[in-house]
Amino acid sequence: MFAQKFYKKFEEAKNKKIISDYRVFVSKAKGCQIGITNEEIAGVYNPITFSSEISGDCLVQWQDGLISSANLNNETLYRFERFLKDLKLLKYKDPAMANFLSSQKYPSVKLYDQKVDDVVEGKEKILLDLVLKLKKWQNKIKTKVKEIGAYTTSIENVVFTSQGLFESEKSTLCGYVSSYEEKIVLEDNLRKIPEKEIIEKKRIFIEQFYSYLTKSRKVKPKEKKMPVLLMPWVSKDLFYHFIISNLDGSSVYNKESHFSLNDFKDKKQALRADLNLKYDPTIDFDVGSYKFSGEGVSSQPTDFIKNGKLETPILDLKYAKLQKSKPTAIFTIQATPLLKSEKEISFENCLDAIDEGVIVLNVLGLHTQSSVSGDYSLPSPQVLYVKNGKILGRTRAIIVGNLFEDMNQKDFQLINFATEKFPGFLIKTNVSFESAK
The SS3 of residue 110 is coil
The SS3 of residue 265 is helix
Distance of CA 200 to the CA centre of its chain: 23
* Alpha-carbon distances, residue 86 vs 22, 68, 171, 190 (angstroms): 16, 10, 33, 39
pLDDT value of position 41: 84
Asked whether 371 and 241 are in contact (CB, 8 A), the reply is yes
Asked whether 359 and 399 are in contact (CB, 8 A), the reply is no
Rounded CA separation 49/120 (Å):
10
Where b means 16+ CB within 10 Å and e means fewer, 152-177 reads: bbbbbbbbbbbeebebebebbbbbbb
> Tell me: the pLDDT tens digits for 85-120?
999 999 999 999 999 999 999 999 999 999 999 999
> Tell me: the pLDDT tens digits for 206-243?
999 999 999 999 999 999 999 999 999 999 999 999 99
Rounded CA separation 151/120 (Å):
9
Distance of CA 399 to the CA centre of its chain: 24
Half-sphere exposure of 99 (CA within 13 A, CB side): 16
Q: Give the CA angle between residues 48, 158, 62 to the nearest 5°.
A: 125
Report phi then psi at 266, rounded to 5.
-90, 0
Task: Give pLDDT tens digits along the chain (437 positions).
Answer: 789 999 999 999 999 999 999 999 999 999 999 999 988 887 777 788 899 999 999 999 999 999 999 999 989 999 999 999 999 999 999 999 999 999 999 999 999 999 999 999 988 889 999 999 999 999 999 999 999 999 999 999 999 999 999 999 999 999 999 999 999 999 999 999 999 999 999 999 999 999 999 999 999 999 999 999 999 999 999 999 999 999 999 999 999 999 999 999 999 999 999 999 999 999 999 999 999 999 999 999 999 999 999 999 999 999 999 999 999 999 988 888 899 999 899 999 999 999 999 999 999 999 999 999 999 999 999 999 999 999 999 999 999 999 999 999 999 999 999 999 999 999 999 999 987 66
How large is the angle between the packed helices 196-215 and 126-140, nearest 10 degrees?
Answer: 30
pLDDT value of position 123: 82
Bridge partners of 215, per DSSP, are none
Tell me the domains of the chain and their CATH numbers. 2-206 (3.30.2290.10), 215-239+342-434 (no CATH), 259-336 (no CATH)
pLDDT value of position 334: 83
Q: Give the CA angle between residues 343, 349, 352 to the nearest 5°.
A: 130
pLDDT value of position 44: 73
pLDDT value of position 333: 81
* Alpha-carbon distances, residue 207 vs 68, 142, 179, 200, 386 (angstroms): 51, 12, 11, 10, 18
Distant-in-sequence, close-in-space partners of 172: CB < 8 Å, separation ≥ 6? 111, 112, 113, 116, 117, 120, 152, 153, 154, 155, 191, 192
Dihedral angle at the C-alpha atoms of 5, 10, 13, 15, nearest 10 degrees? -100
pLDDT value of position 147: 93
Half-sphere exposure of 405 (CA within 13 A, CB side): 10
* Local structure of residue 269 (DSSP, 8 states): B
Bridge partners of 174, per DSSP, are 152, 190
pLDDT value of position 187: 96
Over 177-235, what HEC string results?
EEEECCCEEEEEEECCCCCHHHHHHHHHHHHHHHHHHHHCCECCCCCEEEEEEECHHHH
Asked whether 298 and 106 are in contact (CB, 8 A), the reply is yes
Amino acid at 303: D
pLDDT value of position 42: 74
pLDDT value of position 137: 96
Residue 213's nearest CA partner among 92, 33, 385 is 385
